[in-house]
Amino acid sequence: MLFRKRRERLTASAQAAAVTGFEALDGRLPASEAGQGLLRKAFPDHWSFLLGELALYSFVVLILTGTYLTFFFDPGMTPSIYQGSYEPLRGQAMTQAYASTLDISFEVRGGLLIRQIHHWAALVFVAAIGLHMLRIFFTGAFRKPREVNWTIGVTLFLLALLEGFAGYSLPDDLLSGTGMRTAHTIVMSIPVLGTYLSFFIWGGPYPGEDILPRLYVVHILLVPGLLVALIAVHLILVVYLKHTQWNARGRTNRNVVGHPMFPQFTAKSAGLFFMVFGLLTGLSAVAQINPVWLYGPYRTDQVATGAQPDWYVGFLEGAMRIMPPWQTTAAGHTVMWNVFLPAVVLPGVLFVVLFAYPFFERWVTGDRREHHLCDRPRNRPTRTALGVAAIVFYAVLLLAGGNDVIAYSFLVSVNALTWIFRIAVFVGPVVAFVVTKRLCLALQDHERRLLLEGVETGEVSQSLYGGISESHRPVEAGRRYRILVRDVPRPLPPPPQAATRLQRLRSGLSSWYYGDRVEMPMTPEERRKVEEALAEPSGGEARSEAGQ
């Protein structure tokens, strides 16, 4: 009884303190208005929307572990003799960066575990952003009014790649030093400006004396600051614009259905964070990654055998390995096409395409309406096929980045493997495009037959005359709604005779994008309901419906 009364008094005191604190805060800031609106926010319930949260929580883990590592890491490049606890390297000359990495791994309490959590979290962070962007691309969630958020997402992906490369290079071991040598070659391949840029970035002739301290500042201050700012803007826009949703009964282009922030989304999201942290910790405890002590300190006259970069920049390595050795010398300048094209032009074109794609598709379709329902990838066969072709293109380059390891493991010729990858990088995406588009159209045709004939029950009956037939049952209402409610633009009409080349190009692209389609049978009443479901929100704002 005594403990119960004491607990009640403590609970009452805590509640009174919370009320007093909130009233003080609300008197100075719009806390109640903001909190009320946020608590009413409807959050999605489909698993595919968790990819963005996975990237966010991986970033939180990166911040926490990176802060701990910052206390012990020294990015200096002045050589010194190692006298630490790792016996095989004792007495060797190395930079403070490498020596401090060894100290973190062997002498700082929990340092190796934190290092590995940090590295695994970086890989998951970039992978989650990539998968999140693929989900947005294949479902059309980049369309109006979310073009700006798509642009922010692509920028976040680009910054994540830069952040990963900077962190990968800091230990100054033989593996990361080999990657730094490759980066220096890429910078030097830029015509005219390459030499000046390399001297500026590296602080003199390679390997320089300033590159690691500068990368350290970029890694712990500049890029993280930009990431935090852009993630904040990204989340604000997500709350303001509301999330897209898969079409289902009760979900239209004018409402947003989901779970309220408290308690459903809060509990689920907090659970996901602890799962991510726990899984990364468990993985780091049992799966070794980046054992820098096995590579030794970086020396400019040595190259690590079987050196491979992290997967997210492996496609650049592969592009350089399969590029023919083309060079041009003019006016005293040598242009290394074998480095400049795959390592500078290719990623530049890639990110320009990513930034521009929402505006390109809007120009092709002429569609200016708001879209809050996700596209099923099969209903946009050309877009889906382009995305799969890009994935195959990336996968071929990634495999080409390890052609020496593959050749050694499977006892094949490196030259033969290089030619296979050179052919596959052009043929593979084309084959993937054709096959994916045909599969999407075949899936649409299958759904059309379901609507016309119904779903097979598996029951076979025989008539009085000996005929055998299989019975069908009508498609259930929810599945029928999901099939019929689709927003597929029709091709633009043919241009007039006096049309410009740009107009003819736009008409041709529109026909190529949306000319192949499978029309779904529906009654006039169903057509009216579909049009109502796809109607644009009045006033440009979708209504939120939480708690469903």
d(C-alpha 375, C-alpha 150), whole Å: 16
Res 464 pLDDT > 90: no
| Nearest one of 67, 63, 55, 53 to 270, comparing CA atoms | 53
pLDDT higher than threshold 50 for residue 533: yes
How far is it, in rounded angstroms, from Cα 256 to Cα 249? 12
Fold of the domain spanning 45-244+263-301+335-365: Cytochrome Bc1 Complex; Chain C (1.20.810)
Alpha carbons 23 and 509: distance in angstroms, whole number: 59
What single-letter DSSP state applies at residue 49? G
> Residue with structure tokens 């290719």?
346
Q: Helix 381-400 vs helix 311-322: angle between axes, to the nearest 10 degrees?
A: 80
pLDDT per residue over 214-240, tens digit each?
Answer: 999 999 999 999 999 999 999 999 988
Q: How far is CA 35 from the centre of its chain?
A: 30
Does residue 540 register a pLDDT over 50? Answer: no
As a whole number of angstroms, the distance between CA 3 and CA 25 comes to 33
DSSP string, 459-501: EEEE-TTS-EEEEEEPPPHHHHHHHH----PPPPPPPPTT--H
Each residue's pLDDT tens digit, 26-77: 566 665 555 566 666 777 888 888 999 999 999 999 999 999 999 999 999 9
In angstroms, what CA-CA distances link 339 with 200, 211, 414? 20, 21, 19
For the ranges 41-45, 83-87, 246-250, 371-375, which has the lowest average pLDDT? 41-45
- Output the six-digit token pair for 482: 């999901």
pLDDT over 60 at 83, yes or no: yes
The per-residue pLDDT for 445 is: 95
Return the SS3 of 169.
helix
pLDDT value at 360 more than 90? yes
How far is 126 from 316, CA to CA, in rounded Å? 16
What tokens appear for 387 in the block?
């995305």
pLDDT tens readout for residues 147-181: 999 999 999 999 999 999 999 999 999 999 988 99
Distances (CA, A) of 159 to 126, 129, 156, 213, 230: 10, 11, 5, 19, 10
Global model pTM greater than 0.85: yes
7 versus 401: which is more confidently predicted?
A: 401
Backbone angles phi, psi at 365, to 5 degrees: -85, -25
Cβ(41)–Cβ(51) below 8 Å: no
Higher-pLDDT residue of 258 and 403 is 403
Q: How would you label 68-95 residue by residue, b for 16+ Cβ within 10 Å and e otherwise? A: bbeeebbbbbeeeebebeeeebeeeebb
End-to-end CA distance of the chain: 42
